[in-house]
Structure 1
Amino acid sequence: MEDKLYWYWLSAISGISCRKQHQLMKVFLHPKELFLTPSHIIEEKITRKILPRFLESRREDLIQKSYDALEKQQIQFLLYNETEYPRRLKKIYDYPYGMFRKGQAWEEKALTIAVVGSRNPTAYGMEVTKYLSRELTKLGVGIVSGLAKGIDGAAHRGACIIQGSTVGILGCGIDRIYPWDNYQLFYEMYETQTVFSEYPPGTAPNPWRFPERNRIISGMSDGILVTEAEEKSGSLITADLGLEQNKEIFAVPGPITSKKHEGCHGLIKQGAKLTETVEDILSEFPNFTKSSKNIRHFQKKSLANPEKKVYDVVDLYPRHLDEIAGAAKLSFGETAAALFYLESEGYVKQIHQNIYIKNIYKG
């Protein structure tokens, strides 16, 4: 068999987890060696429960037939060393050696945010998620989520509304539409976006696969945004995995009386960034805001003082007029007049009374 088929075989063996695959490769170095190793040696490395299934899988004709069937289903199998394999994913501890992809090639963005949350959200949670997802994709940010009910679906739809870039990560075989409620979204994602799974076609959506899947969602992102989550929401697992992977964590607050927001409030207490606007997210990624073609950059040299001084101290995070005046070393009146001019010209936005941020949207 060709080299890639051995990797496909390893990735598709039922009962061999990704972590176990890595353990086996530390011993055998390449799946071909594992494939050719006598069964009495394999018995020492694999549990009795899985061993019969493993030995039965070592049939070249069945492997080739299964691999050929992928093309008929318009499914691609990507190896970790191929250019179309998600580059961020290779940095996590137990990355999959192979990923199954359906839909368009995933064009990785300079900034990618995972958007996750409750499967049974409030109308507020759905609206906030669609809004933030839409506004992020307007600026060229990629959106990653899990194609589940609720917040996941809203995140994908928010991006799809404006033909933004979004990718769905499944906790089952890539040929399985789960949950069925999202079938229309699945077809849209297959047609215009990208869907990934580490599991081979036909794999059932067993409950334990979803926490396993969450490390892929966090691994493919630069930051995780939780828009609405109960105290024991599965989306908090994604946030925890993101912390382990050194990702930025963001959480949207809600009413203090609502149990639907207890998970987000808990994250904020633990240090997640309280998030109300896309600026709250982008301010944590200064390299993106400096380089992105979708972010508005004004020619400061065209500004005269005191407008230039004021513009220099207004940031992506909200600042009060008094704070801006102090930082610019100008009087209240001079600062207010400068801000009025900058706002009228589109340089800054007033988001609350006397609270200003830079206008990041492309003009």
Structure 2
Amino acid sequence: MSNPSENLKYELALSLVPKIGPAVFRSILAHAGSAKGFLDITKGKASKISRISSSIIEIRKQFEDNLPKADQIISQCIKKDIGIISFSSDDYPLRLKNIDDFPLIMFKKGKCDLNPTRSVGIVGTRTCTEYGKSVTRKIIEDLAPYKPTIISGLAYGIDIEAHRAALQLDLPTIAFMGSSVDKIYPSAHASIAKEMCHSGGLASEYLPGSTMHPSNFPQRNRLIAGLSDAIVVVEAAIKGGALITAEIAYGYNKEVFAVPGNLQSPHSEGCNKLISKMKASIYTGVSDIEEALSWSKEDPQTSKFTKEKAWSQLPKEDQLILNILKEKGELDIDQLSLQTELNISELASKLLSLEFEGLIRAKPGKRYGLG
């Protein structure tokens, strides 16, 4: 495989091609071996990549034309102390790798470990009540012994209250931005964002310096949902970002909780609706999260979110490959074909995909072992 810095440049350039979405991006890596390899493979092989067969020449040209821009973005990020995470890098968030709409490239400020041991997303309305603020602080205070990373969106209301409470309790907290990480929005939260970077930080899929659009905010909510082991909605109106996040998390099969509220309060309509439609469990206390996620107050490092824990999100045939390698140790491709009953062509494609995700390693002689 290519070296990490080369992967970063080429994956960044590929991500800038307008027609390249998550499914096509993953398919290109699987067929070509790497983003760089996409420029080298034959047109015949490239034509087998789903959804781009009629646009191969155009896409390759755009990709190659984007390489100087990728260099400029990398240089700009170095100057601004912004980290770039490519899909094939070791620090790409495992929790996001297998969602259909994963971000192709991510940017971060601060420590910002996007593979935290435990994580809880706290979301709610921007126009929260004092009760909502108090409940948010209580939830995070009760969560503190479990040492999770607190995930939210840096917005007014419940979001910023969650970040503040996490900082006060020395818990790492990460904000997924609807803006680029070098443009703090809202600007009133710049000092808190700076403080967050000491143990957590900011993350975004938007290029540094890019224009902020209103559609960015509902789009980023899928990342809050995806990176969180559980989502807690504290207060939410009948429509809004918090409900979008909860709906997405429900679709991702995450644990979703909602704090029930006064039937006459517009700030609780969203939470009560989630509960009534059985898209969220009633949050009554931290024991609800502890039971749902099988957490204990022991050192969470003993239950680290590992690559093996990500296996359960993979297709069954991919899980079969990993389990065979775990049981048998290193095997060559012919042995794996016999064990899995997959033909060589199909197996090779799956092995490449698993290698890009860091779950297996290719060895000399077409042998494979766990990563």
Whether the aligned pair in 2 keeps the contact of 1:84 and 1:105 (CA below 8 Å) is no
Alignment of 1:231-270 (within 5 A): 231-270=238-277
- What RMSD in Å do the two structures reach over aligned CA positions? 3.1
Q: Give the structure 1 partner of residue 12 of structure 2.
A: 8
Q: Percent identity?
A: 33
- CA displacement, residues 93-148 of structure 1 (integer Å, 9 cap, x when unaligned): 22223221110141744321111111111121122112212331342122111111
Inter-CA distance 265–112: structure 2 relative to 1 (3 Å threshold):
same
Say whether the 8 Å CA contact 1:108–1:142 is kept in structure 2: no
AA aligned to 2:78 is E
The 3 A distance-change label for structure 1 pair 56 and 247 is closer
- Structure index of larger Rg: 1
Give the whole-Å Cα distance in 2 for the aligned partners of 1:93 and 1:43. 21
Match of 2:282 in 1: 274
Tell me how far 1:158 sits from its aligned partner: 1.0
Q: Once structures 1 and 2 are overlaid, which stretch shifts more, 209-218 or 81-90?
A: 81-90
Match of 2:158 in 1: 151
- SS of 2:122 mapped into structure 1: strand
Which amino acid in 2 is paired with 1:73?
K
- Partner secondary structure for residue 259 of structure 1: coil
Measured in 2, the distance between the counterparts of 1:59 and 1:281 equals 45
User: Which string of whole-angstrom CA distances, capped at 9 and with x for unpartnered residues, describes residues 154-196 of structure 1?
Assistant: 1111101121121111122111111122222222123442211
2:86 aligned to 72, 79, 82, which one? 79
1:90 aligns with 2:94: no
Distance 1:172 1:270 in 2: 32
Pick the aligned partner of 1:283 from 291, 295, 301.
291
SS of 1:284's equivalent in the other structure is helix
TM-score normalised to the size of structure 2? 0.68
The 3-state SS of whatever aligns with 2:151 is strand
Query: What is aligned with 2:187?
Result: 180
How has the CA–CA distance of structure 1 residues 55 and 181 changed in structure 2, closer, same or farther, with 3 Å as cutoff?
Answer: same
Which stretches in structure 1 are left out of the alignment for 5+ residues? 295-363
**Which of 129, 135, 139 does residue 146 from structure 2 map onto?**
139
Report the TM-score when normalising by structure 1: 0.70
Aligned residue in 1 for 2:35: 31
Q: How far, CA to CA, are the matches of 2:90 and 2:148 in structure 1? A: 20
Counterpart position of 1:202: 209
- Indicate if the aligned counterparts of 1:230 and 1:259 stay in contact, CA closer than 8 A: yes
TM superposition shift of 1:44? 4.0
Distance 1:24 1:211, change over 3 A: farther
Asked if 1 retains the 8 angstrom alpha-carbon contact of 2:146 and 2:297, the reply is no
Matching residue's letter, 1:69: Q
Q: Give the 3 Å change call, closer, same or farther, for CA 17–150 of structure 1 in structure 2.
A: farther
Which residue matches 1:356? none
Amino acid at match of 2:126: R
Give 1:2's aligned amino acid.
E
Higher RCO (CA < 8 A, seq sep 6+): 2
Letter in 2 for 1:281: I
In structure 2, do the counterparts of structure 1 residues 279 and 28 end up closer, same or farther at CA, with 3 Å as the change threshold? Answer: same
Tell me if the contact between 1:137 and 1:165 (Cα under 8 Å) persists in the aligned partners.
Answer: no
Amino acid at match of 2:287: E
